[in-house]
Structures are given as structure tokens and as C-alpha cells.
Amino acid sequence: MLCWGISANGQNARVENDSTKVTELEEVIITAAVKKKIETEMKMAVSVDEFLASSENISFIKRGAYAWEPLLNNMSTERSTITIDGMHIFGACTDKMDPITSYVESNNLATIDIKSGQEGSMHGSTIAGSIDLKRKSTAFTDEKNWRGSYQTGFEFNNKQFFNLGNVSYSSDKFVADGSISYRKAENYSDGNNDEVNHSQFNKFNTSLGLAYKTSPLSSLRADAIFDVAKDVGYPALPMDLWLSRALITSVAYKQLFEEGLIRVWDSKIYFNAIEHYMDDTKRPENLVHMDMPGWSTTYGLVSKVNLIKDNLSSEIQLNAYNNLSIAEMRMYPQDRSERTMFAYSWPWVTTRYAGLSVNNSLDFTEKSQVNFGGSLGVNYNHSKYVDFNWIFYPGAPQEKTRLLPSLNANYILNISDFNFSVGAGYGHRAPSVSEGYGYYIYNSFDRYDYIGNPDLKNEISYEANASAGLKKEKMSIEAKVNYFHIQNYIIGKILSLGSPMNYQSVGVKGYTSLDYARLFNFSLNARYNILDHLHWNGTLTYARGQDDKDGNLPFIRPLSYQTSLQYHYKKFGVQTSVNGDLAQVHYSPEYGEDETPKYTVWNISADYTFYIKNVRSIFQMGAENILNEHYSTYADWGNIPRMGRNIFTSLKINF
């Protein structure tokens, strides 16, 4: 019963990765129990963005203090699949101001599962990999049990005040999880103590999950997340977010099997609706008043079975979804009595996808393992108001169906304390809604209006990866490399025809396929336990991206480093870290980049754990960017400066 209890914990699909057999379902419990908490070494109360940033695969494009766009393997979100428990959700903002990560909150997530390259093709076709945000879900328990936590804090730089609350109830038949959170922040100040205007945000998030055990081996679970962000400023943009709302719902049925080939069958239907309303009512300096509302509605199905036979374990997943993306722009003339000007930036574009993914894990020996898999997907697009697309691409088809295959394999070898892996992958992806059907989407980074091309070819990735590591009791070190050769790499190129529509823009770019582009990522991670209570950790990453003419690709992170020391003694903990990027040598003027100088940021924090009547509480206080460095990173739009010195405090109570 206990086994089932934890397995009902839902999305822990580690079964197939473990070399364990069925009889060792309890092993699953362990993996489930040690799942990563949503906190970083430095800070226990982090936003989802800050947490993602602590992964070496992830970097961010930042347009302000809120809703950072995660780049996986230095590739933008079109090239990765971002899902919540396997559910596909698509942002409703043409300017990518609402990555999926902005619609969840750290207190409704259990962990974030990042897979690099084609290994991430379980959730659908991808090039860069997948980011799956896994929600919290409490296990069934024999005894009735209430648990909860509450976290509050204040950050001085932008006067951010946040309150996060969680509560869960579990019994042998019924489980409920609830969370609620609210964050409110004002403008932050940069390293020169200058206020960065339009960097405020307000976010409310709540979630509810109810699970019912329909039989000893099956359960039904319904989940909902509701997220509202209001009055969010984007200093790097000429517009702000007035309101965004997301409703993310799902109903899942899970069936376990005690014996036989099939071990777990997990199916889920889902629906999510996102509204995102940008306007510029707070920017009186703008020449044109403009509204840019967007809507994205998706429904779909995920169904997954886990099979185990001898030393082979397999996972088969069916993904199907239907998305409708709509984005409007309405410009107001200076003389408001005149007629407003209207166009669609996403002319009611439907995307349908259905694909089957398989991942197998074969244990050769105790020491070596082969993982191999693939997927085949069908992607269909339809543009309702195709007239918009015909303006630049006369006669382009209104509908387009693409076949998206993917293959991947890797070999893992463990020899005493050493571990090695080599792998390869091949995969296609379809152009995103913007790349295929976007219409005058203003990009404030290079200040061009972007036009989608419905006839773009599939992007095809050939990928190789390898890693080597050494793990000892006192230390560990691991190096990872990957290389992507991407055929038909989609990027914006200046069009000789047409003229800009947005008054800030300088021209029109069309999404075009380069013959190919190449991307190389390297990371080195080391850990050393200097003393029992003193740990050191260091990370180094390097990436290089080049197009078919050996020019630099944009948004490639320069050499970056992070090093941290942690000291824990009894109820006290002290952490300090230094991180930074070297100067961006390989920048790309062609894509609107300028050279970003190097920067270094030093952070420190201390925490104290105490008990109030058996209620475990932690108080933390710290400072980020202690030296008040004035800097912006390679991926900050408009070179807006990052936050200066920030003192943060937080209190967490678990009951």
C-alpha cells in the first residue's frame, strides 16, 4: 500500500530509468522522495525563473524583472518543448513575454525535469530538449494527514513582498493539494542605484489538485492552476502587460499493474486557456497608442505506459493537442476621432499535433546501459485569415501538414567511480506559430518587425553528446558536451520588401531558413566537501553558435562561471557565491547584438532553523549583488541593467 501511495505521487516516471525490477517498486519511493526542491543553494524562496537559472543548461532572455524566457542549450523556446506535467501550453504573447514558466509559481511545483536534445522528445518534437514542470502532488496515506507550509519574505531592492501558502490533505482514498501565492514588486534599482522604470510586477497564483483512489491500483486526479499577473512592466519594451490570465486544468487517470508487461498506464486530458493583454497606457511618451491582446487555447491528451521485460524497460507516450493562437494589434491614430488601425499578428492559427514517442532502456551489464528511442509526430497548421500571410507570401498554403521524426540513442558506462556516456540524436521540428504565420511582430531587441513564412522547411537537428564524470565520497566532477548541427535553422533575415509597421522599428525581417547552423555547449561541474560542514561547488559553461557563413548566432552565452561555498553547522547555514560571465566576444551585430562586457556578482546568505511547538521554521537573510555591480548580460534586451544590491529576507514555516 505504501508503494502505491508514493507512486500515486504521479508524474515520477523514473520507473523506466531505474535499473530496478518491478519487485523493487520501493526504489521508486526513494527517487520520488529525494526530488529536488524548488530552491537554490543561495536562496530558499526563489521564483521559478531563479530556480531554472540554477541549471547549467538554462540561460535566460530577460525583458525585465518578470517572465524570463528560458533558453535551453542556448536555444530559444521555439526549439524546446516546455510542458507542465506533460501538458502542452503555449504563450499568448507574440513577443514571448509569457513563457510557460511564468504561469506557475514555485509553491505549486515539485521539481523541474530538464532533458537535453532529443532525449526530450518524449513530450513532442524538439531540437533543444524539454523542460517539464512537475507539479506537487501529495501521496495517499493510510492515516488522515494534514500538512502545510507558509513562506513569506521581502526583497528590499524592488520592495518585493511575497506570500506563498500550501496545504495538503491526504487519506487512504482521497488527497487534496492547494496552494495560493501573491507577489508584488515595484521597480528595481540597478547598480548605480538608478530606478529602472517599468519593472514592477504583481502576480497571483493558485492551484488545486484533488485525487481519488478508485481501486487499490488506480486513481483519478483533477488539477487546476489559475494564474493572474497584472501591471507587469517590461523596461526593455515599449509596452507593458496590463493583465494576463491562465487557467490550466487536467484530469488524469492512472492504473498500476502488479504483474505483466505493462506496469503503469497513465492518461490525462487537459485544457488550458491563456489571455495576455499588452498595452502602453503607462507610456505617454509613445507616439502611437497600441493594444496587443493575445489568446492561446490548448486542449490535448497525454497517455503513457511503462513496460518492463527482463532487463528492458520502455516508456511509450502518446501526445496529442490542438492549439488556437490569436493575437491582435490595434493602433490608435493621434487624432482619436480617426479610424483605428487593426491587424492580426497571429491570424487565428491552429496547430494540431499527434505523436507517439518511445524510450527504451536496456541494461547490458551491471555497469553499462543503452537508452534508445524515437518519436514520430504529425504537425498540422491552419491559418484562418491567411490573407495576412499572403501579403508577403502570395499563394502560400492555408494549411500545412508536416511529419516530424526523431531518433536518439545513448550509451552509459560506469567503471568504479567513473561514469561515461556518449549519445546521438536526430530530430525535426515544425516552425512555431510566429515563425510560420506571424505578421509584423515587433522585436524590440533588433528593432525589426518579423514576418512568418508558412512555407518554411522543418528544422532538422543532428546532435552528438558526451559526458564524463568522477564521483568520490569527498568530491565529484562532471564534464558534459553537446554539439548540434541544425539544418534549415530558422532565423530572421532582413526583407527587401515592405516597410515597418511599428513606429519604433527600423525595418522588416522575415523568418528564413539558413542552410545550417552549429551550436556547441560545454559545462563542467565540480563539488568538493572541504570539511564535513563545508562544501564547495563550481560550474563553468561555454557555448558557441555559428551560422552557415561562420557568423555568430545571437543569444549564445559567453564563458560563464559560478562558484559557491556552503557551511552548515547545526541550525545555522551560511552560503556565499560568485557568478559572472566573461565579455561576450562572439556577439552578432547582424542580429542586433552589441558586445556585452564581463561582470561578476557576489551573493551571500545565512539561515537559521528553529522550532515553534514542533513547527519547523527557517529564517533566511541575504544579499545578492553585494558589490552593487552595474551590469547587464548578453541576453538582456535593450541592455537594460540588472538589479543592483538586493537584500532579501524570508521565513518558511512547515507544519
Is there binding between residue 22 and other proteins (CB under 8 A)?
no
Is there binding between residue 615 and other proteins (CB under 8 A)?
no
**Closest approach of other proteins to the CB of residue 219, in Å:** 18
Q: Closest CB to other proteins among 171 and 368?
A: 171
Please identify, among the stretches 34-42, 88-96, 205-213, 468-476, the one whose residues bind other proteins according to the rule CB under 8 A. Answer: 205-213
Helix, coil or strand: residue 444: coil
Kind of pairing, strands 160-170 and 459-471? Answer: unpaired
Amino acid identity for residue 68 in this structure:
W
Phi, psi of 611, rounded to the nearest 5 degrees: -120, 130
Contact criterion met (CB below 8 Å) for 585 and 598: no
Q: Closest CB to other proteins among 167 and 409?
A: 167
Q: What share of the chain is helix, strand, coil (3-state, %, to 5)?
A: 10, 55, 35
Q: How far apart are CA 89 and CA 124, in angstroms?
A: 12
Is there binding between residue 481 and other proteins (CB under 8 A)?
no
Q: Closest CB to other proteins among 364 and 503?
A: 503
* Beta strands per DSSP E along 310-367: 312-332, 341-363
Is there binding between residue 349 and other proteins (CB under 8 A)?
no
Q: Closest CB to other proteins among 60 and 388?
A: 388
The footprint of other proteins on residues 232-261 (CB under 8 A) is: 243, 245, 247
Is there binding between residue 610 and other proteins (CB under 8 A)?
no
| Closest of 322, 327, 437 to residue 97, by C-alpha | 327
Tell me the sheet residues that pair with 410: 371, 423
Please identify, among the stretches 325-333, 456-464, 468-476, 592-600, the one whose residues bind other proteins according to the rule CB under 8 A. Answer: 325-333
Phi, psi of 22, rounded to the nearest 5 degrees: -60, -40
**Closest approach of other proteins to the CB of residue 266, in Å:** 24
Contact criterion met (CB below 8 Å) for 563 and 578: yes
Please identify, among the stretches 284-292, 525-533, 535-543, 630-638, the one whose residues bind other proteins according to the rule CB under 8 A. Answer: 284-292
Q: How far apart are CA 322 and CA 270, in angstroms?
A: 11
Q: How many residues bind other proteins (CB under 8 A)?
A: 52
Q: How far apart are CA 137 and CA 135, in angstroms?
A: 6
Please identify, among the stretches 56-64, 331-339, 561-569, 570-578, the one whose residues bind other proteins according to the rule CB under 8 A. Answer: 331-339
Q: How far apart are CA 46 and CA 61, in angstroms?
A: 18
Q: How far apart are CA 354 and CA 363, in angstroms?
A: 30
Q: Closest CB to other proteins among 217 and 331?
A: 331
Q: Closest CB to other proteins among 128 and 211?
A: 211
| Closest of 206, 168, 31, 57 to residue 111, by C-alpha | 31
DSSP string, 260-278: SSEEEEEEEEEEEEEEEEE
Phi, psi of 539, rounded to the nearest 5 degrees: -135, 140
Kind of pairing, strands 615-624 and 646-654? Answer: antiparallel
Task: Please compute Rg for the chain using Cα positions.
Answer: 24
Among 6, 52, 67, 180, contact with other proteins (rule: CB under 8 A): 180
Among 312, 341, 530, 585, contact with other proteins (rule: CB under 8 A): 341
Residue appearing with cell numbers 526583497 = 155
Binding mask 208-237 for other proteins (x = CB under 8 A): x-x-------------x-x-x---------
**Closest approach of other proteins to the CB of residue 397, in Å:** 15
**Interacting residues of 134 by C-beta distance below 8 A, sequence separation 6+:** 10, 11, 35, 84, 85, 109, 110, 111, 112, 113
**Size of the chain in residues:** 655
Please identify, among the stretches 124-132, 307-315, 335-343, 408-416, the one whose residues bind other proteins according to the rule CB under 8 A. Answer: 335-343
The footprint of other proteins on residues 131-170 (CB under 8 A) is: 167, 169
Among 288, 358, 422, 466, contact with other proteins (rule: CB under 8 A): 288
Q: Closest CB to other proteins among 312 and 615?
A: 615
The footprint of other proteins on residues 40-59 (CB under 8 A) is: none
Is there binding between residue 343 and other proteins (CB under 8 A)?
yes
**Closest approach of other proteins to the CB of residue 330, in Å:** 7
80 CB neighbour count, 10 Å cutoff: 27
Four-CA torsion 644, 62, 66, 244, nearest 10 degrees: 160
The footprint of other proteins on residues 263-282 (CB under 8 A) is: 275, 277
Q: How far apart are CA 568 and CA 566, in angstroms?
A: 7
Q: How far apart are CA 414 and CA 416, in angstroms?
A: 6
- Report how far apart the first and last C-alpha atoms of the chain are (Å, whole number): 24
Is there binding between residue 285 and other proteins (CB under 8 A)?
no
Among 295, 372, 516, 602, contact with other proteins (rule: CB under 8 A): 295
**Closest approach of other proteins to the CB of residue 441, in Å:** 13
The footprint of other proteins on residues 485-504 (CB under 8 A) is: 495, 497-501, 503-504
Q: Closest CB to other proteins among 344 and 445?
A: 344
**Closest approach of other proteins to the CB of residue 39, in Å:** 24
Q: How far apart are CA 76 and CA 247, in angstroms?
A: 24
The footprint of other proteins on residues 379-398 (CB under 8 A) is: 385, 387-388, 390-392, 394
Is there binding between residue 431 and other proteins (CB under 8 A)?
no
**Closest approach of other proteins to the CB of residue 238, in Å:** 12
| Residues near other proteins (CB under 8 A) | 167, 169, 176, 178, 180, 206, 208, 210, 224, 226, 228, 243, 245, 247, 275, 277, 287-288, 291, 293, 295, 326, 328-331, 333-334, 338-344, 385, 387-388, 390-392, 394, 440, 495, 497-501, 503-504, 506
